[in-house]
Structure 1
Amino acid sequence: MTGGLSQRLAAHAAATPDKIAVRFLEKGEGETQSLTYAELAAGTARLAGVLRARGLAGRPVILAIPAGTAFVTALLAVISAGAIAVPVPFPPLGEGRNRFRAIVSGLPGAAILAATPGIVEAGDPALGERLLDLGALTQASKGASEGPATPPVQPEPDAPAVIQFSSGSTAQPRGIVVTHGNIAANVAMMAEGFALDRTSVCVHWLPPHHDMGLFGAILAPLWFGAETVLMPAFAFLQKPLRWLGAISAHGGTITGGPNFAYELSLRRIGAAELARLDLSHLSVAYCGAEPVRAASLAAFAAHTACAGLRAEALLPCYGLAEATLLVSGTAGLGLRTARTTVFGRKAERAVCGTPPPGCTVTIRDPQSGALLVPGETGEICVSGTHVAAGEWQSGRIVPLANAASSRDGERYLRTGDLGFEAPEGLVVVDRIKDMICLQGRNIHAVDVESAAVAAGGGVIAAAAAFAVDDDARERIVLLCEVPARERASLDPALESRLATAIGADCGVRPQIVWMRHGALPRTTSGKIRRQAARQEFLEGRVLSLAIEMRHAETSD
């Protein structure tokens, strides 16, 4: 089957009109919304016609719509209308509120398609003239035609389809322009890397404004005529059992999430609960979007084996918004590790598979750009038709800030990530900006954090390591989150044990600061923002667990 998104959607509706395209579990358990392919195609085509009639083709349209079938229909309609979809966290809460404001102010010419315009206007009355009421437009589209509208002409491959704002783990989010051609190229790579086809049942809780949720959980499954089962991210975070429960209930074959999702499931789902689940249909459980910890995935596989999860379903992968989503990942091989050396000690790192056809990965010297040989650690660089067209600035597309060219004219994307090529595949080491230089030595923050989590024995939920220089001496600080149920029984000797373990693994003994779970700054997709944590520490804004407990005692 050929064609773009709207053509493929219409073809799926013609071939399998009654097949469920999207199921939505509003509270993560019972199904509350669903659309067949016929319903989805008809609703998309009608709404796209209304949006075109309003002259939105070629303009950014901010999707101020919560996760659900209405979001999926609106997303497809905006893209099919030739407009540029801009997913945002909605309703804007916490860190998402700042992100929403930054995106809206950074796209002054964008329309705002809102499910609840009152929420948007209450935050900023000046936005009223840019608002489009999704409910009113949907109703108008139903009155415009009794049946499905004729699918629009497919936009050119180089036409913008989505402005995907990067998660901003080390910097402010940037508006990455993903074209129709980029999407077509990367979903084909996902089909190869994740063994995705029309028989797949994909189950996800990932936020739809994040690249993994947008392309991995929504657009890729629908592109191939698969079934996708969605739930809000907060439903998973409140009760991780809902994720695995949905996989069991719907016979999920493909799922995925960041490393923290697997660790959270380990801590919060007991053996008795797992014994009631059936995960035997799951063929791919991918892990990406943040450093993949081999120990976490190995423990998750062992923990869920009683529910039928096969170890070969685990799929460490690597990707980024500037490459649409997927860069490297291989289905069916399970968790594989490669050995590297950290201060003379052997360390095991997860292998993130190999690049699918059409994607080229090279490892280059971060300063000179020279190609490095397999096994040498350098900057991961990517080229292929899935690499984004550029960034959106002041109403136009400008080249990616991290685009580069070799001396012979080869263009590639500098990812800002360190890694090396092992015989088994790509191994991701760390963010270049998060690498710690201490007394002339390079120390990877992820190594310090991994050593702490391993030595903590389940007490540490998350950690952030960074270097500080207070003029007296240069040192490493490690901020460690502790779940509420672990605080009362926190062993006073744990700090010493962690420092010793980190010293043995990484050659340094950090200053350790305990924090409540959730206190570390994160992106809206859940990534730890190490540089933001460092800034908060330097400014004295880190509320340590000891200080919090003292405040609680005072208030009592």
Structure 2
Amino acid sequence: MQKFRLMTDCLDSHSELYPQKPAYIFLSEKLVTEEELTFAQLRIEARQFAGRLLETAQSGDRALLIFPAGLDFIIAFFGCLYAGVVAVPLCPPNKKRSQRTLQAIIDDCSPRLIITLKALSSSLQDQDHRESLSWLEMDDLRGRQQFTFLPDHLAVEAEDLAFIQYTSGSTSTPKGVMVTNANIVANQAMIRDAFSHDEASTVIGWVPHYHDQGLIGNIFQPMFVGATSVLMSPVTFMRWPLRWLQAISIYQAHTSGGPNFAFGACVKALEREPEIELDLSTWQVAFNGAEPIRNETMSEFQAAFQRFGFSREAVYPCYGLAECTLQASGGVRGTGMITLNVDRQALRDGKILPTDTASCQTLVGSGKALPGTRIEIVDPLTRKPRTPFEIGEIWIAGPHIARGYWNQDPLTAGTFANHLSGDIQPPYLRTGDLGFVHQGELYVTGRIKDMVIIRGKNYYPHDIEHNVSTAHHSLENSACAVFSLLDTEDKLIIVQEVRREWRKKIDGDEIISIIRQAVVLNSEITPHDIVLLMPGKLLKTSSGKVMRNAIRTQYIDKKLERWLG
């Protein structure tokens, strides 16, 4: 098996082995090929763009890549890799908040230039704080018959910085994770082996390209093995979830996946369109990379799509984060989900008590540590490993752990340079996530920063949020935020979106009463306040994670857009 030093080595090799094979296909809303790049075409265009890039920038300079869904981003990114320019992929800003985030990122990483398209360039340059930056418009450059070739003497090293992945900011302001070429290649080898990928393993993806799952999983992994990547806009998925599965059916995909909510959205879409025709028999790796992964969601998905050839063994729970490039753990392909029933009260106390009583909670495992990865469950205060059946912070070590956070040395030291008490092993990454390992399987239970503490007891917000969203069919799934406030006593606050089609049909007092009953019944806690929001008004990151801290601030500042039915 060939070993690669850089992702550009993969492209160089595959353009010789499979010059006319499609490397990337981008689909329109109607699942028609909108654009296609063969391995040979991509190599030529990326190297030409790298030469043009070096007329404006030098190796090591940062370049913001701001693109809508499509293949221009991929040419630009590989051009940056060839040139040694550090790519910074970002979500196109469209609201005041995202524009403020963009300015904060510009201030943080001091980019030399912005690479984008004409349509975005005009709106971005309207912002007066961007006058000092150089601009490259990809569609303008690709339309010209002018070729600037990459210098032969340019040397890009494995330990050089490849790109900066700004974290989603679900729990804090975005931070720039510094990912090296060596980090990428190490994680790609892990994913290839875990998913059993080869050059015939077509991958279908809709997760945004500026998200680590979309970039590392759906764009880089197919390139690493010489497979075809079929991409579609996340907007297409959001509007018509079943078109994701139709693409899998049409292209006979080996691998595709997304966050937990995506599988639930497909189940609901099938109820509206039960006569759809699908063939999911080739889908061998249906990865679910969210935490927590819900047993109910995946069981419902298996039951709903079994008649289309979907195999329950294809379900592939996994876990990762940008700070370890992408993936840290995953199941054994072909074994499906591994679950564990535990006592609810013990779980709140930070302990694991396996049980099969009626009141148990079912947890889904996120697989075992990938080869070359070490995972420890650690007491975050004493830095000592937790004993079996105790919950602690998840610590990770391995060659895919990123270099740190850009321009934040103290935070880098506190997050990336940790040692177990009395241990001289290489340092660990502190993930901020809570979990435990049982029989080698990692179970992720929540995030330290998101824990809700009421009268000294710990509650996982995602459990309460799930109980709220499922309490009544007028409430939007995956659109709830739970947090606590400390006044004279601890107070539980619940913020929940109303579904668009129900916003004029419900009795708000009745729905709030139903929510309160559900929380008391399942969590044995009485909410202090329950807020119903207008549809689409719950703050989320670009990857769909609920921004609990930001919503908490909105609540305190009385800025929530309440439903007033």
TM-score w.r.t. length of structure 1: 0.91
Q: How does 1:222-241 map to 2 (within 5 A)?
A: 222-241=223-242
Q: Distance in 2 between matches of 1:303 and 1:516?
A: 30
Q: Please name the residue that 1:245 is paired with.
A: 246
Q: Please name the residue that 1:536 is paired with.
A: 554
- What are the Cα deviations for residues 312-335 of structure 1, in whole angstroms up to 9, with x where unaligned? 111121110100000111232222
Q: Please name the residue that 1:312 is paired with.
A: 313
Please report how far the alpha carbon of residue 270 of structure 1 lies from its aligned counterpart in structure 2 after TM superposition. 2.8
Q: Distance in 1 between matches of 2:414 and 2:13?
A: 38
Please report how far the alpha carbon of residue 83 of structure 1 lies from its aligned counterpart in structure 2 after TM superposition. 1.1
1:389 aligns with 2:403: yes
Q: Distance in 2 between matches of 1:227 and 1:154?
A: 28
Q: Distance in 2 between matches of 1:425 and 1:65?
A: 38
- What are the Cα deviations for residues 504-527 of structure 1, in whole angstroms up to 9, with x where unaligned? 332212243222332211111111
Please report how far the alpha carbon of residue 493 of structure 1 lies from its aligned counterpart in structure 2 after TM superposition. 4.7
Q: Please name the residue that 2:122 is paired with.
A: 118
Letter of the 1:387 counterpart: I
Q: Is the 8 A contact 1:521 1:533 kept in 2?
A: yes
Q: Distance in 2 between matches of 1:400 and 1:204?
A: 34
Q: Distance in 1 between matches of 2:310 and 2:132?
A: 50
1:519 to 534, 537, 548: 537
2:106 to 90, 96, 104: 104
Q: Please name the residue that 1:179 is paired with.
A: 180
Q: How does 1:446-485 map to 2 (within 5 A)?
A: 446-456=462-472, 459-461=475-477, 462-471=479-488, 473-485=489-501
SS of 1:477's equivalent? strand
SS of 1:533's equivalent? helix
Alpha-carbon distance change, 459 to 144 in structure 1, aligned in 2, over 3 angstroms: closer
196-205 or 53-62, larger mean C-alpha shift: 53-62
1:343 aligns with 2:354: no
Please report how far the alpha carbon of residue 254 of structure 1 lies from its aligned counterpart in structure 2 after TM superposition. 1.0
Q: Is the 8 A contact 1:121 1:128 kept in 2?
A: no
Q: Is the 8 A contact 1:96 1:524 kept in 2?
A: no
Letter of the 1:190 counterpart: I
Q: Please name the residue that 1:554 is paired with.
A: none
Q: How does 1:50-199 map to 2 (within 5 A)?
A: 50-90=52-92, 92-93=94-95, 95-116=97-118, 117-124=121-128, 126-127=130-131, 129-138=133-142, 142-144=146-148, 155-199=156-200
Letter of the 1:427 counterpart: Y
Q: Distance in 1 between matches of 2:115 and 2:299?
A: 43
Alpha-carbon distance change, 449 to 129 in structure 1, aligned in 2, over 3 angstroms: closer
Q: Distance in 2 between matches of 1:208 and 1:336?
A: 30
Q: Distance in 1 between matches of 2:176 and 2:262?
A: 26
Q: Please name the residue that 2:353 is paired with.
A: none
SS of 1:405's equivalent? coil
Please report how far the alpha carbon of residue 241 of structure 1 lies from its aligned counterpart in structure 2 after TM superposition. 2.1
Q: How does 1:211-230 map to 2 (within 5 A)?
A: 211-230=212-231
SS of 2:368's equivalent? coil
Q: Distance in 2 between matches of 1:460 and 1:159?
A: 44
Please report how far the alpha carbon of residue 155 of structure 1 lies from its aligned counterpart in structure 2 after TM superposition. 2.2
1:11 aligns with 2:13: yes
Q: Distance in 1 between matches of 2:414 and 2:526?
A: 36
Q: Is the 8 A contact 2:495 2:532 kept in 1?
A: yes
Q: Please name the residue that 2:43 is paired with.
A: 41
SS of 2:553's equivalent? helix
SS of 1:199's equivalent? coil
Alpha-carbon distance change, 323 to 152 in structure 1, aligned in 2, over 3 angstroms: farther
Percent identity (aligned): 32
1:499 to 516, 521, 533: 516
Alpha-carbon distance change, 420 to 358 in structure 1, aligned in 2, over 3 angstroms: same
Q: Is the 8 A contact 2:203 2:253 kept in 1?
A: yes
1:425 to 441, 448, 454: 441
Q: Is the 8 A contact 1:274 1:307 kept in 2?
A: no
Please report how far the alpha carbon of residue 151 of structure 1 lies from its aligned counterpart in structure 2 after TM superposition. 7.4
Alpha-carbon distance change, 69 to 442 in structure 1, aligned in 2, over 3 angstroms: same
Alpha-carbon distance change, 94 to 186 in structure 1, aligned in 2, over 3 angstroms: farther
SS of 1:525's equivalent? coil
Please report how far the alpha carbon of residue 271 of structure 1 lies from its aligned counterpart in structure 2 after TM superposition. 6.4
- What are the Cα deviations for residues 141-169 of structure 1, in whole angstroms up to 9, with x where unaligned? 84346xxx687766222110010001111
Letter of the 1:435 counterpart: M
Q: Please name the residue that 1:282 is paired with.
A: 283
Please report how far the alpha carbon of residue 56 of structure 1 lies from its aligned counterpart in structure 2 after TM superposition. 2.3
Q: Distance in 2 between matches of 1:339 and 1:291?
A: 15
Letter of the 1:372 counterpart: R
Alpha-carbon distance change, 424 to 306 in structure 1, aligned in 2, over 3 angstroms: farther
Letter of the 1:155 counterpart: V
Q: Distance in 2 between matches of 1:382 and 1:274?
A: 45
Structure 1 runs (4+) greater than 6 angstroms displaced? 149-152
1:415 to 419, 425, 431: 431
Q: Distance in 2 between matches of 1:179 and 1:419?
A: 28
Q: Is the 8 A contact 2:51 2:148 kept in 1?
A: no
Q: Is the 8 A contact 2:295 2:364 kept in 1?
A: yes
Letter of the 2:193 counterpart: E
Please report how far the alpha carbon of residue 217 of structure 1 lies from its aligned counterpart in structure 2 after TM superposition. 1.0
SS of 1:385's equivalent? coil
Letter of the 2:18 counterpart: T
Unpaired segments of 5 or more residues in structure 2? 347-358
Letter of the 1:485 counterpart: E
Q: Is the 8 A contact 1:342 1:505 kept in 2?
A: no
Alpha-carbon distance change, 122 to 419 in structure 1, aligned in 2, over 3 angstroms: same
Q: Is the 8 A contact 1:338 1:424 kept in 2?
A: no
Letter of the 1:506 counterpart: S
Q: Distance in 1 between matches of 2:267 and 2:15?
A: 39
Q: Please name the residue that 1:362 is paired with.
A: 376
Q: Is the 8 A contact 1:7 1:151 kept in 2?
A: no
Q: Is the 8 A contact 1:211 1:325 kept in 2?
A: yes
121-130 or 5-14, larger mean C-alpha shift: 121-130
Q: Please name the residue that 2:412 is paired with.
A: 399
Q: Distance in 1 between matches of 2:286 and 2:341?
A: 23
SS of 2:172's equivalent? coil
Q: Please name the residue that 1:259 is paired with.
A: 260
Q: Distance in 2 between matches of 1:265 and 1:456?
A: 19
- What are the Cα deviations for residues 291-344 of structure 1, in whole angstroms up to 9, with x where unaligned? 322211111221222222111111121110100000111232222211222226
- What are the Cα deviations for residues 186-244 of structure 1, in whole angstroms up to 9, with x where unaligned? 11111122332211111111111111111111111111111111112112112212212
Alpha-carbon distance change, 95 to 307 in structure 1, aligned in 2, over 3 angstroms: farther
Please report how far the alpha carbon of residue 139 of structure 1 lies from its aligned counterpart in structure 2 after TM superposition. 5.3
- What are the Cα deviations for residues 97-122 of structure 1, in whole angstroms up to 9, with x where unaligned? 33322222322243211222323212
Q: Distance in 2 between matches of 1:186 and 1:218?
A: 13
Cα RMSD of the aligned pairs, angstroms, is 2.4
Please report how far the alpha carbon of residue 372 of structure 1 lies from its aligned counterpart in structure 2 after TM superposition. 0.8
Q: Is the 8 A contact 1:298 1:335 kept in 2?
A: no
SS of 1:101's equivalent? helix
Q: Is the 8 A contact 2:291 2:444 kept in 1?
A: no
Q: Distance in 2 between matches of 1:269 and 1:91?
A: 32
Please report how far the alpha carbon of residue 85 of structure 1 lies from its aligned counterpart in structure 2 after TM superposition. 0.8
